[in-house]
A and B are shown apart, each in its own frame.
Chain A
Amino acid sequence: MPGIQRTGPVKNKRGSNTQSQPAKVAATKLAKASTKKKDEDDGTEMGDGTDEWMQRKTLIKPPDQLDLTEAELKEEFTRILTANNPHAPENIVRYSFKELLYQRTGSIDQLATHFMLEGNLLHQDSDEARRQKARQGYPEGMVPIATEAKEEKPDTLQAEVEEVMEEGGSEDRSDSVQHKGGKPEQKQTNQFNFIERGSKTLNNPLRQMGCQTEPPPRANFSATANQWVIYDAYVEELQKQENNKEKQRASMKKEEGKSKKKTMLVETQSDDITKFRKVTKIVERMVIQNTFDDIAQDFKYFEDASDEFRQQEGTLLPLWKFQYDKVKGLAVTSLCWNQRYKDLFGVGLGSYDFTKQGHGMLLFYSLKNSTFPEYFYTTSSGIMCLDIHPNLSHLVAVGFYNGCVAVYNLKEKSIQPLYTSTAMSGMLTQPVWQVKWQKDDMDNNHNFFSVSSDGRVVSWTLVKNEMVFTDIVKLAVGDSVTGGLEGLQLPNPACGTSFDFHKEVDYLFLVGTEEGKIYKCSKAYSSQFLDTYDGHHMAVDAVRWNHFHPKVFISCSADWTIKIWDHTVRTPMFTFDLNSAVGDVAWSPYSSTVFAAVTTDGKVHVFDLNINKYEAICHQPVVAKKTKLTHIEFHPVYPIIIVGDDRGCVTSLKLSPNLRKKPKEKKRQELPEGPEVEIAKMEKLLNLLQDPDNSSLG
């Protein structure tokens, strides 16, 4: 509704637009009052008629009427009449798809529709009109008068319907009528009310989703594929397979599996230590090789050139000296080379002095390291003899001063021997002077023999965890007073001090005794000797069979003599007097006529019967004065000998070429016939001996 705005001063109405209500009330009241009074503004219900009526100037104000001053009351308000639609919104904002934002519509439609009526008049030329005409059947152009035309038609329902239809103007029925009319249809757009409006389906907002995984960790790898890398890989594979197989077998038996696990653990713990050990050993040897470089060179290459000038004599070149701190006070009682490892030899230490019996030691030295032994064992009793098994070089048989025998296993790291004989298992009551390994018996058990001062030659067999002993021979002192000697408790009982087994004839062996006799015995006969040789006046320190000649053996004794025998003859073949007690004698492994002996005055004597039948071709003091030499051994391969003394020191010496001569009879045939030539040599000598009785040769 357009607002009627008044101009001019408003007397009666003081309120603003906000006060329209009281103004209207006032207006109505004014209308009423105007019948009575014109000027009065009678808006409230308060009025007593007369009082208010009398007081013209007192205006009745509604209680919430705005109080204005006179000036303000006289203020003129101008009101303008415009054609604006007061109800039209002033700020329409539409979303513009072109600019994709909300935009204020510039011009706002001010049209206000008060009344609207949709008519049903059709333009006669419009499509709809034509359709209707067609329906009615009139030709185009004519202006049909609806009602008259219909009266002319037959009064059918259709006509009535047509009337209704014309008035109503609905299209649905017209369609069907048109169809009947037969005219082609056209989809006709409504001329008046047609609005084309497009709509859009809701588009789902596009979203992009990406995901990224963490980059896989990378590492640079480089390696070279050498032949050995490939080889190592294969070896590892093999080992793994073997381990798996073992595990499978072990899983069958639970106990074994557990024990293997234990061993595995132990290995890993001790791995570091053992690996260090090996490496440090190697380095130590290298350092020592450097330190003792000249000795090593001599050992290998030095040949005394001056031997050419010395006609028959030779010399001994001192090489290494093996000493160990802890063996002071002990004497070397036995030496033995290891057959398998050519640089290893064993030293047994004890004491020959009966009054000073203490502990003993078993040492193993290698030529590669002369400062420190490879293995060492401390024993409670002095060691008197030792022997290394010729085949199983880790087994060492040891005889003690207290009559015990023991077998050590070098492979094991324990200090204790593998087997020990105790009082129960046949310990001998007297010191054991010699032990020797024998071939395995029929049950493949290892066994060794021992000889001791109580006159028994005992065979010890290693059966599983213990040693079993059997007495082989009991040495009875030949003819005379047996009971007396056995009954008497002499400090030096007259019994076996050394023995040796024949190289070829296995059951034959020799025993040397304290009283100087040598007995030839057989393993088969336990009480009887095969033969007796009246050898020496004093104890026989050593008897040795010749390596080559089957009949010859040598013996030495404290009576300063060395004697060479033919076991078929009861008298010695050769006798040598050395001016000093002979500690030990040994045949050389390379010649049947060369042997060496050591004496208590510190000298080494080397004899070659082929060259000189009566004298030594070399006798040389080897150790300091007052040191007695106790034992000697030839190296099986190298031209060196080791000698032990009573200070616990072992010295190695190299034999000069003169001492190593082999007869140059037939050069070509010499080597393959080595042993036979040696035998022949010996034979010749023996024959010569027998001949001097008959001939004039001396």
Chain B
Amino acid sequence: MAEVEETLKRIQSQKGVQGIIIINAEGIPIKSTLDNSSTVQYAGLLHQLVMKTRSTVRDLDPQNDLTFLRVRSKKNEIMIAPDKDYFLIVIQNPSD
């Protein structure tokens, strides 16, 4: 558990990282470094996106599974790593 905490701290300290959100399988944010309203917004929207993506990937080949999802936009990049029960979302601005 400490290891995980350490890793998260390291991620947070990387340059350009704006926030980290952990949400559970139902889309409820468990942990976040952003403010409440943003967290809820990100969680709600991204949860659906990840479900859809995962469904797509697995539909094409059931033995396959989604490893991670990157959404790169003009201002920043949203990286999502899904797991069976959790999603980890990191928002980074790589050009900072």
Cross-interface CB contact of B15 among A228, A281, A291, cutoff 8 Å: A291
Cross-interface CB contact of B92 among A232, A272, A280, A287, cutoff 8 Å: A287
What are the residues of chain A within 8 A of B62 when measuring CB–CB? Answer: 227-228, 230-232
Query: In chain A between 207 and 247, which residues have their CB closer than 8 angstroms to a CB of chain B?
Result: 224, 226-228, 230-232
Whether B90 and A283, one on each chain, are in contact in the complex, defined by CB atoms closer than 8 angstroms, is: yes
What are the residues of chain A within 8 A of B3 when measuring CB–CB? Answer: 277
A283 to B20, alpha carbons, bound, how many Å?
10
Counting contact residues on chain B (CB < 8 A from A), the size range is 20 to 34
Whether A283 and B94, one on each chain, are in contact in the complex, defined by CB atoms closer than 8 angstroms, is: no
Whether A228 and B58, one on each chain, are in contact in the complex, defined by CB atoms closer than 8 angstroms, is: yes
- Given contact pairs A230-B62, A372-B10, a sample of 19 additional A-B residue pairs in the complex whose CB atoms are under 8 Å apart: A226-B55, A226-B59, A228-B59, A231-B58, A231-B62, A273-B4, A275-B83, A277-B4, A279-B86, A279-B87, A280-B8, A280-B11, A282-B88, A283-B81, A287-B14, A287-B90, A290-B79, A290-B92, A293-B94
A283 to B83, alpha carbons, bound, how many Å?
11
Kindly list the 9 A-B residue pairs having the minimum CB-CB distance in the complex, ordered from nearest: A228-B58, A231-B62, A282-B81, A228-B62, A290-B94, A286-B79, A280-B7, A279-B83, A283-B81
Which of chain A's residues has its CB closest to B57's CB? Answer: A228
Whether B70 and A286, one on each chain, are in contact in the complex, defined by CB atoms closer than 8 angstroms, is: yes
Tell me whether A284 is interfacial, beta carbon within 8 Å. yes
Q: SS class of chain B's interface: helix, strand, loop or mixed?
A: mixed
Which of chain B's residues has its CB closest to A372's CB? Answer: B10
Tell me whether A379 is interfacial, beta carbon within 8 Å. no
Whether B1 and A286, one on each chain, are in contact in the complex, defined by CB atoms closer than 8 angstroms, is: no
How many residue pairs bridge A and B at CB < 8 Å? 86
Cross-interface CB contact of A231 among B4, B63, B86, B94, cutoff 8 Å: B63
Whether A283 and B88, one on each chain, are in contact in the complex, defined by CB atoms closer than 8 angstroms, is: yes
Whether A276 and B90, one on each chain, are in contact in the complex, defined by CB atoms closer than 8 angstroms, is: no
Which of chain A's residues has its CB closest to B7's CB? Answer: A280
What are the residues of chain B within 8 A of A33 when measuring CB–CB? Answer: none
Whether A276 and B4, one on each chain, are in contact in the complex, defined by CB atoms closer than 8 angstroms, is: yes
- Taking the nearest CB of chain A, how far is it from the CB of B61, in angstroms? 8
A281 to B7, alpha carbons, bound, how many Å?
7
Query: In chain B between 59 and 83, which residues have their CB closer than 8 angstroms to a CB of chain A?
Result: 59, 62-63, 67-68, 70, 77, 79, 81-83
What are the residues of chain B within 8 A of A282 when measuring CB–CB? Answer: 67-68, 81, 88
What are the residues of chain A within 8 A of B70 when measuring CB–CB? Answer: 286
Cross-interface CB contact of B55 among A228, A230, A284, A293, cutoff 8 Å: A228
A228, A275, A291, A371 interface centre (most CB from chain B within 10 Å):
A228
Whether A283 and B11, one on each chain, are in contact in the complex, defined by CB atoms closer than 8 angstroms, is: yes
What are the residues of chain B within 8 A of A280 when measuring CB–CB? Answer: 4, 7-8, 11, 81, 88
Which B positions have Cβ atoms within 8 angstroms of A? 1, 3-4, 7-8, 10-11, 14-17, 20, 22, 55, 58-59, 62-63, 67-68, 70, 77, 79, 81-88, 90, 92, 94
- Taking the nearest CB of chain A, how far is it from the CB of B73, in angstroms? 13
A286 to B85, alpha carbons, bound, how many Å?
20
Counting contact residues on chain A (CB < 8 A from B), the size range is 20 to 34
A276 to B4, alpha carbons, bound, how many Å?
7
A281 to B68, alpha carbons, bound, how many Å?
11
What are the residues of chain B within 8 A of A226 when measuring CB–CB? Answer: 55, 58-59
Which of chain A's residues has its CB closest to B64's CB? Answer: A228
14 residue pairs from A and B, CB less than 8 Å apart: A227-B58, A228-B55, A228-B59, A231-B58, A232-B62, A278-B83, A280-B7, A280-B81, A283-B11, A284-B11, A286-B90, A290-B94, A291-B15, A372-B10
Tell me whether A640 is interfacial, beta carbon within 8 Å. no
Query: In chain A between 260 and 313, which residues have their CB closer than 8 angstroms to a CB of chain B?
Result: 272-273, 275-284, 286-288, 290-291, 293
A271 to B49, alpha carbons, bound, how many Å?
25
Q: SS class of chain A's interface: helix, strand, loop or mixed?
A: helix
What are the residues of chain A within 8 A of B68 when measuring CB–CB? Answer: 282-283, 286
Cross-interface CB contact of B1 among A232, A273, A279, A290, cutoff 8 Å: A273
A232 to B3, alpha carbons, bound, how many Å?
31
- Taking the nearest CB of chain A, how far is it from the CB of B87, in angstroms? 8
Which of chain A's residues has its CB closest to B77's CB? Answer: A290
A282 to B67, alpha carbons, bound, how many Å?
8
A284 to B3, alpha carbons, bound, how many Å?
13
A288 to B14, alpha carbons, bound, how many Å?
8
A231, A277, A279 interface centre (most CB from chain B within 10 Å):
A279
Which of chain A's residues has its CB closest to B63's CB? Answer: A231
- Taking the nearest CB of chain B, how far is it from the CB of A104, in angstroms? 78
What are the residues of chain B within 8 A of A230 when measuring CB–CB? Answer: 62
A274 to B45, alpha carbons, bound, how many Å?
26
Whether B16 and A291, one on each chain, are in contact in the complex, defined by CB atoms closer than 8 angstroms, is: yes
- Taking the nearest CB of chain A, how far is it from the CB of B32, in angstroms? 14
Whether A279 and B88, one on each chain, are in contact in the complex, defined by CB atoms closer than 8 angstroms, is: yes
A277 to B8, alpha carbons, bound, how many Å?
10
Which of chain B's residues has its CB closest to A271's CB? Answer: B85
What are the residues of chain A within 8 A of B90 when measuring CB–CB? Answer: 283, 286-287
What are the residues of chain B within 8 A of A281 when measuring CB–CB? Answer: 7
A232 to B86, alpha carbons, bound, how many Å?
18
- Taking the nearest CB of chain A, how far is it from the CB of B36, in angstroms? 22
Cross-interface CB contact of A283 among B55, B58, B79, cutoff 8 Å: B79
A227 to B1, alpha carbons, bound, how many Å?
35
A361 to B22, alpha carbons, bound, how many Å?
33
A281, A284, A288 interface centre (most CB from chain B within 10 Å):
A284
- Taking the nearest CB of chain A, how far is it from the CB of B25, in angstroms? 11
- Taking the nearest CB of chain B, how far is it from the CB of A410, in angstroms? 15
A276 to B20, alpha carbons, bound, how many Å?
13
Whether A371 and B10, one on each chain, are in contact in the complex, defined by CB atoms closer than 8 angstroms, is: yes
What are the residues of chain B within 8 A of A227 when measuring CB–CB? Answer: 58-59, 62
A286 to B1, alpha carbons, bound, how many Å?
21
Whether A284 and B10, one on each chain, are in contact in the complex, defined by CB atoms closer than 8 angstroms, is: yes
What are the residues of chain B within 8 A of A371 when measuring CB–CB? Answer: 10, 14
Cross-interface CB contact of B14 among A224, A275, A291, cutoff 8 Å: A291
What are the residues of chain A within 8 A of B79 when measuring CB–CB? Answer: 283, 286-287, 290
What are the residues of chain B within 8 A of A272 when measuring CB–CB? Answer: 85
**Contact (A287, B17) CB under 8 Å given A273-B4, A275-B85, A276-B86:** yes
A631 to B55, alpha carbons, bound, how many Å?
48
Whether A284 and B7, one on each chain, are in contact in the complex, defined by CB atoms closer than 8 angstroms, is: yes
A277 to B58, alpha carbons, bound, how many Å?
23
**Contact (A287, B4) CB under 8 Å given A275-B86, A279-B81:** no
Which of chain A's residues has its CB closest to B94's CB? Answer: A290
B4, B20, B83, B94 interface centre (most CB from chain A within 10 Å):
B4
A226 to B52, alpha carbons, bound, how many Å?
12
A377 to B8, alpha carbons, bound, how many Å?
21
Which of chain A's residues has its CB closest to B87's CB? Answer: A279
- Taking the nearest CB of chain A, how far is it from the CB of B23, in angstroms? 11
- Taking the nearest CB of chain B, how far is it from the CB of A17, in angstroms? 98
- Taking the nearest CB of chain A, how far is it from the CB of B68, in angstroms? 6
- Taking the nearest CB of chain A, how far is it from the CB of B48, in angstroms? 14
A288 to B92, alpha carbons, bound, how many Å?
10
What are the residues of chain A within 8 A of B55 when measuring CB–CB? Answer: 224, 226, 228
Which of chain B's residues has its CB closest to A286's CB? Answer: B79
Whether B81 and A286, one on each chain, are in contact in the complex, defined by CB atoms closer than 8 angstroms, is: yes
What are the residues of chain A within 8 A of B7 when measuring CB–CB? Answer: 277, 280-281, 284, 372
